[in-house]
């Protein structure tokens, strides 16, 4: 029995001590988030999706070769045939009417029309009368051109390149936002760990002081009120440890989930000691943002889309006309080879039009609505551009302030810790009251957390600024290559 107990205890101990801690710095957490987080994969998928949308748009301006037809097109039925006396006779039909069309077309971005070249072949087989005939157009060139109409190709050619450029800028901006979120979760866990350390340390110190105070109480050197206050402090310290453990577990799960970290290794965070000392010129930051930020392109796209809506309203709510013209050669024969000899000219010219006579002001209303929407969009975008510049200016000022604040909070942390240690020693020897010791302890805990908060806010501001301007101020290089 003892052997079994010893084996069980030894095995449990080996499992407990086999758990390895992984020390991770802020840079390591950010790189892991960029390489394997779900947000990173989504950013890559979105970038790829935008790339293929761009390729699809480009294909609209390249020649399209299309083969179409019906092989076979067989019919065996009865059809009604009107007779001279007004009667109808149902005649049997049994035929095949196959056709092929090979067409090469090219859109015209400048006019919104289409030019095409095609060749067609048709075969008709009448099985009832044992008759076969071929017809076709060996060569034809044609033009389809809307007149006075909205030119979708032209407007897409203005907007789609901007959308593609925006996608090139959005991907590095998304990576910086991933860095921002990883930094936030990193410091959330670090703060939770620090609060747990503080709570455990306070509980240990309270136990020590309570034991000392019990001896002093027995000697009559302290009052019962002081002893009860320490007992209450011990209960509160124990509750604080439990609450801190829950917060720590939640913060750990959130960071592990974001990093897609499936290992059972315990995460031990390493505080970033190095603080960048470069200065940022607000005007430079605004310039970089206007040159590289995807939001700047979004402003331009929204203005163009409002103008496109106005052009569409004007082009689809008035006189519309379409020109269709072809020129080629055609023939009909009893065999396929004869179609390509002794051909005859074939021409087609058609202009269709539509003119609204009475629409009760519908067209004018749509145009006025589009004009009002354009004016509203221009005003909103202009205000957002001003707000964007002010946001960057304020963020730069805050970044500089937070960097300077770190030095003060670090010094306050060191002073508060030293003061508490002195207060604790003086309390032990009886030269300090419990109230003064509690004040020193509270100031120590607050100073420690303030230092961590200042570090967190500094790094969050740093990556937020990078995401808005897409500029690395440490290396003075852009974070995107548009070439």
Question: If you ran DSSP here, which 8-state letter would residue 261 be given?
Answer: -
Which regions of 379-483 does DSSP assign to beta strands (E)? Answer: 471-472, 477-478
> Measured between alpha carbons, how far apart are the two ends of the chain, in Å?
75
**Cα–Cα distance measured from residue 378 to residue 171, given in angstroms and rounded to the nearest whole number:** 27
What mean pLDDT do residues 205-213 have? Answer: 83
Query: Do the Cβ atoms of 476 and 445 come closer than 8 Å?
Result: no
Q: What is the pLDDT of residue 336?
A: 82
Residue 15: inside a domain: no
Q: What is the pLDDT of residue 442?
A: 87
Lowest mean pLDDT among 109-123, 283-297, 367-381, 424-438: 424-438
Percent of the chain with pLDDT over 70: 95
- The answer to whether residue 483 scores a pLDDT higher than 70 is no
Helix axes 38-59, 26-36, angle to 10 degrees: 40
Are 176 and 284 in a shared domain?
Answer: yes
- The answer to whether residue 351 scores a pLDDT higher than 60 is yes
What mean pLDDT do residues 442-456 have? Answer: 92
What mean pLDDT do residues 342-351 have? Answer: 85
Query: Do the Cβ atoms of 40 and 286 come closer than 8 Å?
Result: no
Q: What is the pLDDT of residue 20?
A: 54
Lowest mean pLDDT among 31-40, 67-76, 272-281: 272-281
- The answer to whether residue 403 scores a pLDDT higher than 80 is yes
What average pLDDT does the chain have? 87
Are 128 and 198 in a shared domain?
Answer: no
Are 54 and 76 in a shared domain?
Answer: no
- The answer to whether residue 3 scores a pLDDT higher than 80 is no
Q: What is the pLDDT of residue 6?
A: 35
Residue 178: inside a domain: yes
What mean pLDDT do residues 450-479 have? Answer: 92
- The answer to whether residue 205 scores a pLDDT higher than 90 is no
Query: Do the Cβ atoms of 400 and 280 come closer than 8 Å?
Result: yes
Are 171 and 141 in a shared domain?
Answer: no
Are 473 and 369 in a shared domain?
Answer: yes
Q: What is the pLDDT of residue 242?
A: 93
Are 219 and 266 in a shared domain?
Answer: yes
b/e map 126-138, b = 16+ CB within 10 Å: eeeeeeeebebbb
- The answer to whether residue 97 scores a pLDDT higher than 50 is yes
Chain centroid, CA 319 distance in Å: 42
Q: Residue 481: which pLDDT band, with cuts at 50, 70 and 90?
A: low
Question: If you ran DSSP here, which 8-state letter would residue 274 be given?
Answer: -
Residue 4: inside a domain: no
Q: In whole angstroms, how far apart are CA 348 and each of 102, 105, 327, 405?
A: 18, 17, 7, 80
Q: What is the pLDDT of residue 293?
A: 92
Residue 142: inside a domain: yes
Residue 327: inside a domain: yes
Q: What is the pLDDT of residue 21?
A: 63
Q: What is the CATH number of the domain that holds 288?
A: 1.20.1600.10
Q: Domains in the chain: how many in total?
A: 2
Q: What is the pLDDT of residue 189?
A: 95
Q: Residue 411: which pLDDT band, with cuts at 50, 70 and 90?
A: very high
Are 277 and 390 in a shared domain?
Answer: yes
- The answer to whether residue 339 scores a pLDDT higher than 90 is no
What mean pLDDT do residues 357-378 have? Answer: 90
Are 144 and 162 in a shared domain?
Answer: no
Residue 10: inside a domain: no
Lowest mean pLDDT among 5-14, 65-74, 419-428: 5-14
Q: Residue 2: which pLDDT band, with cuts at 50, 70 and 90?
A: very low
Strand partners, 323: 145, 351
Residue 311: inside a domain: no
Are 120 and 197 in a shared domain?
Answer: no
Residue 87: inside a domain: yes
Are 283 and 403 in a shared domain?
Answer: yes
Q: What is the pLDDT of residue 423?
A: 86
Q: Which domain holds residue 400?
A: 20-58+155-305+364-478
Q: What is the pLDDT of residue 18?
A: 40
What mean pLDDT do residues 202-209 have? Answer: 85
Q: What is the pLDDT of residue 271?
A: 87
Lowest mean pLDDT among 82-96, 204-218, 250-264: 204-218
Are 376 and 327 in a shared domain?
Answer: no
What mean pLDDT do residues 372-397 have? Answer: 95
Query: Do the Cβ atoms of 296 and 114 come closer than 8 Å?
Result: no
Are 170 and 297 in a shared domain?
Answer: yes
Query: Do the Cβ atoms of 466 and 472 come closer than 8 Å?
Result: yes
């Amino acid at each position: 029995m003892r052997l079994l107990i010893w084996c069980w205890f030894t095995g449990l101990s080996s499992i407990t001590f086999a758990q390895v801690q992984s020390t991770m710095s802020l840079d390591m957490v950010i790189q892991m988030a960029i390489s394997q987080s779900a947000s990173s994969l989504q950013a890559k998928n979105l970038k790829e999706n935008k790339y293929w949308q761009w390729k699809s748009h480009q294909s609209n301006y390249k020649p399209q070769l299309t083969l179409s037809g019906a092989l076979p097109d067989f019919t065996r039925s009865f059809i009604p045939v009107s007779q001279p006396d007004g009667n109808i006779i149902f005649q049997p039909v049994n035929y095949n009417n196959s056709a092929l069309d090979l067409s090469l077309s090219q859109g015209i971005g400048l006019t919104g029309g289409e030019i095409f070249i095609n060749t067609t072949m048709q075969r008709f087989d009448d099985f009832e009368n044992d008759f076969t005939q071929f017809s076709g157009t060996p060569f034809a060139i044609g033009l389809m051109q809307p007149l006075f109409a909205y030119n979708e190709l032209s407007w897409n050619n203005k907007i789609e390149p901007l959308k593609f450029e925006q996608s090139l800028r959005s991907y590095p901006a998304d990576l910086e936002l991933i860095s921002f979120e990883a930094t936030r979760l990193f410091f959330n866990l670090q703060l939770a760990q620090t609060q747990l350390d503080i709570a455990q340390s306070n509980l240990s110190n309270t136990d020590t002081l309570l034991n000392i105070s019990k001896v002093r109480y027995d000697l009559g050197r302290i009052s019962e009120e002081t002893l009860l206050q320490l007992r209450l402090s011990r209960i509160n310290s124990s509750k604080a440890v439990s609450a801190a453990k829950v917060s720590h577990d939640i913060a750990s799960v959130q960071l592990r989930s974001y990093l897609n970290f499936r290992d059972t290794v315990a995460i031990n965070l390493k505080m970033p000691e190095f603080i960048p000392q470069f200065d940022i010129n607000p005007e430079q930051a605004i310039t970089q943002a206007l040159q590289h930020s995807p939001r700047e392109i979004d402003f331009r796209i929204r203005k163009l889309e409002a103008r496109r809506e106005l052009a569409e309203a004007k082009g689809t709510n008035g006189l519309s006309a379409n020109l269709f013209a072809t020129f080629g050669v055609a023939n009909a024969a009893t065999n396929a080879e004869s179609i390509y000899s002794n051909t005859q000219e074939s021409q087609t010219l058609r202009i269709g039009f539509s003119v609204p006579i009475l629409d009760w002001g519908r067209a004018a209303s749509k145009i006025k609505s589009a004009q009002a929407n354009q004016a509203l969009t221009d005003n909103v975008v202009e205000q957002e551009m001003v707000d964007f510049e002010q946001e960057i200016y304020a963020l730069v000022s805050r970044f500089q302030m937070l960097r300077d604040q770190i030095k003060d909070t670090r010094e306050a942390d060191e002073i508060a810790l030293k003061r508490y240690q002195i207060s604790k020693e003086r309390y032990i020897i009886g030269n300090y009251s419990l109230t003064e010791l509690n004040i020193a302890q509270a100031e120590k805990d607050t100073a420690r957390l303030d230092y961590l908060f200042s570090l967190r806010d500094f790094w969050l501001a740093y990556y937020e600024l990078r995401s808005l301007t897409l500029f690395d101020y440490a290396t003075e290089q852009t974070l995107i290559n548009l070439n």
